[in-house]
Amino acid sequence: MFKKTEKFFDIIGEILAVVMVLVYALLILNANFEFIPEGTFMNVLEIMRTYGSLLLVGVVGLEAMSKRNFIFQIIFLALLALIVIFLFFPGTYENLIGIVKK
């Protein structure tokens, strides 16, 4: 399914890893020295910290799954979709638990 895209995921994963290291370094330094004022740039860094990590995990996982068989790819994509759904729609978890408890 992803055999031809392994190189692409590898390059994107490397770029994302470097960007995330820079984001975390800036946020840690800012926590100690407060050189970044509150505002748009700080908000962008916080959003990148929150969603960039998930994106990095997804890209690296897709790279790893490109070498595996179709079943492992489907399982990985289903778990990744589950994480994204619960991340963006937090009420979904309570609804799912409510259906299971009935």
Tokens of 70: 């179709």
pLDDT of residue 66: 87
pLDDT of residue 91: 79
Residue 36 burial by CB count (10 A; 0-12/13-18/19+): exposed, middle or buried? middle
Helix and strand numbers (H, E) in the chain are: 4, 0
pLDDT of residue 14: 95
Q: What is the number of domains present in the chain?
A: 1
pLDDT of residue 2: 63
Expressed as residue numbers, the domain containing 88 is 3-101
Residues of the chain with pLDDT under 50: none
67 phi, psi to nearest 5 deg: -95, -5
